[in-house]
Structure 1
Amino acid sequence: MPVDTKRIRGPEESQSPLLFLSPGKVPEASSRQGVRGNGDVRPVFARCGLISQAKGSAYLEAGNTKIICSVYGPREAERKDESDMKTGRLVCDFRLAPFSCMKRGAWIQGSEERDLSQTLLESLQPGVCLHRYPRSQIEVNVMVLENDGSILAHAVTCASMALADGGIEMFDVVLGCTLRQNGSACLVDPSFSEEYGSWQEGYGEEQGCVTVALLPNLNQVSGLTADGEMREDMLADAVRSCMDGCHKLYPVLQQALTRAVKKKAPPPEK
């Protein structure tokens, strides 16, 4: 994507305004002191239907992680050679806003974002009824507004909400959850500092990070990514903990979708 040379992008590096506050006025961090390791996820806020131009959209906050997603289609595929007579095509685009990280990023999509786009596609595809949309294309665009950890897992949940809000037929919604393993200790839904704090140069022995995408009603795993060095039994326990975390997020997703359906429903006849 070409760079907009007329846009004032600001400085390459910036400092948080929280650094200039007095110590007594600094707000609490997004980490959950006192509840680590018992499978609790961060408080989640979710809403659907915020982008009027899109077929479906969703916004999700988990701690300080903020993600917005829009869905377009189904519509005719741009390239005829990529269309299928029997099934549709799902396209995912994952972007990190330049201001979402501590160090300002670029507008052009990087290798990390391309990998996240492919992982997001593989996680969502088993939950979408693509056979109902032959020769069509469904586009999912995810934008991370603030990165405070577990962005892939929450992007899966947000994209699933946007697909459901857009009326796309699905076998089941897809929920995501991340677990950070450090020896015998683990933390579900870690923040950025908890996920990468002292492991910027790589993971040590019995350390890693696991992300699971789950179809909760079918109880089937649609996506699994794991980084680090973890034993087989440790990885199995991490997957089970992530599945439990997904089930804890399911009521929030149901409530947001129910509210969106009631908002779109016509008023009752008098």
Structure 2
Amino acid sequence: MPVDTKRVRGPDESQSPLLFVPPTTKTPAPPSEAREDGRRRGQADVRPMFARCGLVSQAKGSAYIEAGSTKLICSVYGPRETERKDDVDMKTGRLVCDFRFAPFSCQKRGAWIQGSGEKDLSLGLLESLQPAVCLHKYPRSQVEVNVVVLENDGSVLSHAVTCAALALADAGIEMYDLVLGCALRQDGPTYLLDPTFPEESGAWAAGYGDNQGRVSVALLPSLNQVSGLQSDGEMGEDTLVEAVRACIEGCHRLYPVIQQTLLKAVRRKAPPAQA
């Protein structure tokens, strides 16, 4: 077998440096204690959000959202003529959603090639946005929504729904209502609204249990209708109903922030008043 003489070869046997780190025992926090970012368990507290529209000049509309350390950017292109010419697309338009993680967004560096998880998130994003977009206004055309996660600190799908709705509104796409997303992780008798990445992934190491699960809700706030709902884990019927209600309350808490962001975007685009 040929040997690459220019490559520095490592030892045949090696050990992880983590073996020499002294173990640290962490006791799980009781449900009554505050979370790491200061929020309380079992309360409808979402992370402070920063949002802005119109950052991508090449796109028809764009939006950027920061929720804690979760950062996303969305670009909307179209409406443009669709490539498919079947009878369905002749009557109504198509909405195409693409969800991707930047290679540097997660703890483990990824690739630009879309994986199975990103495809599932793209489908969830499409299902949440499609009921809100007036596709019958754009026959024989398609609207493309591209979401890129710049930093993943949990609740990426729910914040991607909100960011995409902002970008669609910035692009002037006709919609029945904005779409707001909120996520929740059920931890036994209490819940964690808008969970961070450690809160999302920490409970799954011990396996599933009673009332352990995650819920993501997409809401049309003005119409008070749910456009998307995803749930995994094991939760009772009453627990799931309360989790959905908590997510809806979290969406209503985000609504004023999104409204102010759109108003600022409209004022920036408005022509200056003539004296």
Q: TM-score, normalised by structure 1?
A: 0.87
**Equivalent of 1:78 in 76, 83, 90:** 83
Distance change >3 Å, CA 201–CA 128, structure 1 → 2:
farther
CA contact (8 A) 2:101 2:150 kept: yes
Aligned to 1:149: 154
Q: Does 1:240 align with 2:225?
A: no
**Equivalent of 1:218 in 202, 220, 223:** 223
Aligned to 1:39: 44
Where do residues 22-101 of structure 1 align in structure 2 (5 Å cutoff)? 31-81=36-86, 84-101=89-106
**Equivalent of 1:167 in 172, 181, 204:** 172
For residue 80 of structure 1, give the secondary structure of its aligned residue in structure 2.
coil
Aligned to 1:177: 182
CA distance in 2: counterparts of 1:75 and 1:159, whole angstroms: 18
- Identity between Structure 1 and Structure 2 (%): 71
The alpha carbon displacement at 1:100 in A equals 0.5
Letter in 1 for 2:50: F
The alpha carbon displacement at 1:44 in A equals 0.3
The alpha carbon displacement at 1:93 in A equals 0.1
Aligned to 2:193: 188
CA distance in 1: counterparts of 2:87 and 2:44, whole angstroms: 42
For residue 112 of structure 2, give the secondary structure of its aligned residue in structure 1.
coil
**Equivalent of 2:128 in 123, 138, 144:** 123
Aligned to 1:22: none
Per-residue displacement from partner, 1:93-141 (whole Å, max 9, x unpaired)?
0001111110011110000000000010000000000010011100000
The alpha carbon displacement at 1:33 in A equals 2.4
Aligned to 2:266: 261
Distance change >3 Å, CA 224–CA 34, structure 1 → 2:
closer
CA distance in 1: counterparts of 2:62 and 2:39, whole angstroms: 35
Q: Which moved more, 1:77-86 or 1:223-232?
A: 77-86
Aligned length: 241
Distance change >3 Å, CA 91–CA 162, structure 1 → 2:
same
CA contact (8 A) 2:39 2:45 kept: no
CA distance in 1: counterparts of 2:199 and 2:128, whole angstroms: 24
For residue 32 of structure 1, give the secondary structure of its aligned residue in structure 2.
coil
For residue 79 of structure 1, give the secondary structure of its aligned residue in structure 2.
coil
Per-residue displacement from partner, 1:190-219 (whole Å, max 9, x unpaired)?
000011113146432210000000000000
Aligned to 1:103: 108
Q: Which runs of 4+ in 1 moved over 6 A?
A: none
Letter in 2 for 1:60: I
Question: Unpaired segments of 5 or more residues in structure 1?
Answer: 1-29
Per-residue displacement from partner, 1:43-80 (whole Å, max 9, x unpaired)?
00000000000000000000000000000000001232
CA contact (8 A) 1:31 1:191 kept: no
Q: TM-score, normalised by structure 2?
A: 0.85
Question: Unpaired segments of 5 or more residues in structure 2?
Answer: 1-34
CA distance in 1: counterparts of 2:106 and 2:115, whole angstroms: 14
Aligned to 2:18: none
Per-residue displacement from partner, 1:9-30 (whole Å, max 9, x unpaired)?
xxxxxxxxxxxxxxxxxxxxx9
